[in-house]
């Protein structure tokens, strides 16, 4: 933010800046951060979210910074009628542009040559491996470092992995490819871990085990092995491995949807564990991450909780007025500042997405957090929960390697 201020108001190199961010970050976080710091006074901004009229009115206002949510980039470029005359773009959460087939990627790439300066921010550059990097850097440097075409990038650094005849399902890096990729992007990439440059409190990761009883385990294991289970008069089935994975995760959490989208409760092991964890905080605020709608419904039925959705919810959480809050990782995954409201996060249900997992954790463990952060994971033992935790750990190691490779070598006063 200070760099933008300097470029715009001290050095006069930049006239108009577009900030692209997730909706809640665009609506709440960027404005609150600008207001928070005295040294940013004079940096005018306009938030272009809401209805089409509200967005157009915001874009037509006289300001230095224009803040828009990433879902509206295609609209801005192709449908709004507003000239794209920004000479600087900041993409908050660059990883949300990792899909080169998405409209947002194609739209931003279309106007990228008009932009004099561009900055991409993300804490999760390669959540699903190094293949994610191509689209992100294609936006940043127009293909100078990793190539203009995904096929060239793939052929240069990867080899087919899982396949069925001529159909290739996945790729794996060639020997030495990781180092070559890191070297290619290192000149325009800087990695700064908050824990390296700020005095951060301790972050404690904890796994809380729960165990299914014989009846519950019978339902789970039968479904896992046969992809079908009988729950009373209802029969639950899985059409393929992806559906099976989702159903098993639901079962591990305590309920599962049938074909009519009706939830059938199997156990309350995680709810019991959640109750113990909430009681164990002795009144300190708790943030609970859930994944499925039936998770939320069962949590709401058992506990007096508040779902964080609106700006008011977030404000009251940060003021310590909400004892137990619940949030979905897809909503909490990027940019929200929740560190002022509490320091305990409980994962009721897990996600395969390393990006959402890490970003949700970072809502509490971030600059401005003064207390020890405790992140609990409620794990149903001998279930798919264990596989998810192992996968998250494995992906994190790959991503940590990337971050370490391009880490900023700055002298820090300790």
What is the CATH number for 354? 3.40.50.300
What average pLDDT does range 290-318 have in this prediction? 93
Of 151, 170, 192, the position where a domain reaches its end is 192
Q: Rounded to an integer, what distance in angstroms lies between the CA atom of residue 55 and that of residue 50?
A: 6
Pair 375, 205: CB distance under 8 Å: yes
Q: State whether 216 and 164 are in the same domain.
A: no
User: What's the pLDDT at 193?
Assistant: 67
Residue 74 domain-assigned (yes or no):
yes
Domain range holding 178? Answer: 2-192
Residue 348 domain-assigned (yes or no):
yes
Of 172, 192, 212, the position where a domain reaches its end is 192
Residue 406 domain-assigned (yes or no):
no
Of 127, 158, 192, the position where a domain reaches its end is 192
Q: State whether 220 and 346 are in the same domain.
A: yes
Token readout for 165 is 């005849």
User: What's the pLDDT at 310?
Assistant: 85
**How many CB atoms are closer than 10 A to CB 412?**
9
* pLDDT(407) > 60: no
Confidence label for 232 from pLDDT (cuts 50, 70 and 90): low
Q: State whether 46 and 69 are in the same domain.
A: yes
Question: Which are the contacts of 306, defined by CB distance < 8 A and separation ≥ 6?
Answer: 313, 316, 317, 322, 324, 325, 326
Q: State whether 205 and 179 are in the same domain.
A: no
Residue 280 domain-assigned (yes or no):
yes
Global pTM reads 0.62
* CA-wise closest residue to 286 among 272, 301, 276: 276
Q: State whether 201 and 174 are in the same domain.
A: no
Confidence label for 409 from pLDDT (cuts 50, 70 and 90): very low
Residue 410 domain-assigned (yes or no):
no
User: What's the pLDDT at 164?
Assistant: 80
H-state helical runs in 148-240: 150-157, 177-185, 194-197, 214-226
Q: Rounded to an integer, what distance in angstroms lies between the CA atom of residue 243 and that of residue 385?
A: 15
User: What's the pLDDT at 267?
Assistant: 96
What average pLDDT does range 153-177 have in this prediction? 88
Number of separate domains in the chain: 2
* pLDDT(413) > 60: no
Q: State whether 180 and 220 are in the same domain.
A: no
Sign of CA dihedral 196, 118, 100, 336: positive
Q: 3-state class of 259 per DSSP? A: coil
CA distances from 78 to 50, 87, 96, 106, 141 (A): 18, 18, 19, 11, 22
């Amino acid at each position: 933010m200070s760099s933008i201020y300097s470029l715009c108001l001290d050095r006069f190199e930049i006239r108009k800046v577009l900030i692209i961010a997730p909706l809640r970050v665009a609506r709440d976080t960027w404005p609150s951060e600008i207001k928070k710091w005295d040294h940013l006074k004079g940096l005018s901004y306009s938030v272009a979210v809401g209805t089409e009229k509200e967005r157009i009115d915001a874009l037509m206002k006289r300001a230095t910074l224009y803040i828009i949510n990433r879902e509206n980039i295609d609209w801005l470029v192709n449908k709004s009628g507003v000239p794209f005359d920004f000479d600087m773009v900041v993409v908050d959460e660059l990883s949300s542009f990792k899909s080169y087939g998405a409209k947002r990627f194609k739209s931003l790439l279309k106007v990228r040559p008009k932009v004099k300066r561009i900055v991409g921010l993300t804490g999760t550059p390669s959540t699903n491996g190094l293949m994610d990097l191509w689209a992100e850097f294609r936006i940043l440097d127009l293909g100078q470092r990793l190539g203009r075409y995904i096929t060239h990038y793939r052929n240069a650094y990867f080899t087919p992995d899982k396949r069925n005849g001529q159909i290739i399902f996945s790729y794996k890096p060639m020997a030495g490819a990781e180092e070559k990729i890191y070297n290619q992007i290192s000149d325009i990439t800087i990695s700064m871990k908050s824990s390296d440059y700020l005095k951060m409190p301790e972050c404690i990761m904890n796994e809380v085990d729960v165990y299914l009883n014989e009846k519950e385990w019978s339902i789970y294991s039968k479904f896992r092995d046969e992809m079908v289970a009988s729950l009373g008069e209802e029969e639950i089935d899985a059409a393929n491995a992806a559906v099976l994975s989702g159903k098993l995760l639901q079962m591990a959490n305590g309920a599962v949807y049938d074909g009519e989208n009706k939830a059938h409760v199997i156990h309350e092991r995680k709810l019991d564990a959640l109750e113990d964890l909430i009681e164990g905080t002795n009144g300190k605020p708790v943030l609970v991450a859930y994944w499925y709608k039936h998770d939320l419904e069962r949590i709401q039925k058992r506990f007096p909780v508040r779902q964080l959705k609106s700006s008011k919810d977030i404000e009251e959480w940060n003021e310590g007025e909400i004892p137990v809050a619940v949030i979905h990782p897809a909503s909490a995954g990027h940019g929200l500042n929740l560190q002022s409201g509490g320091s305990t996060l409980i994962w009721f249900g897990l996600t395969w997405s390393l990006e959402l997992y890490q970003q949700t954790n970072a809502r509490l463990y971030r600059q401005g957090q003064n207390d020890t952060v405790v992140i609990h994971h409620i794990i149903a033992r001998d279930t798919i929960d264990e596989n998810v935790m192992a996968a998250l750990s494995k992906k994190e190691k790959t991503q940590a390697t990337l971050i370490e490779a391009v880490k900023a070598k700055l002298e820090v006063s300790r």
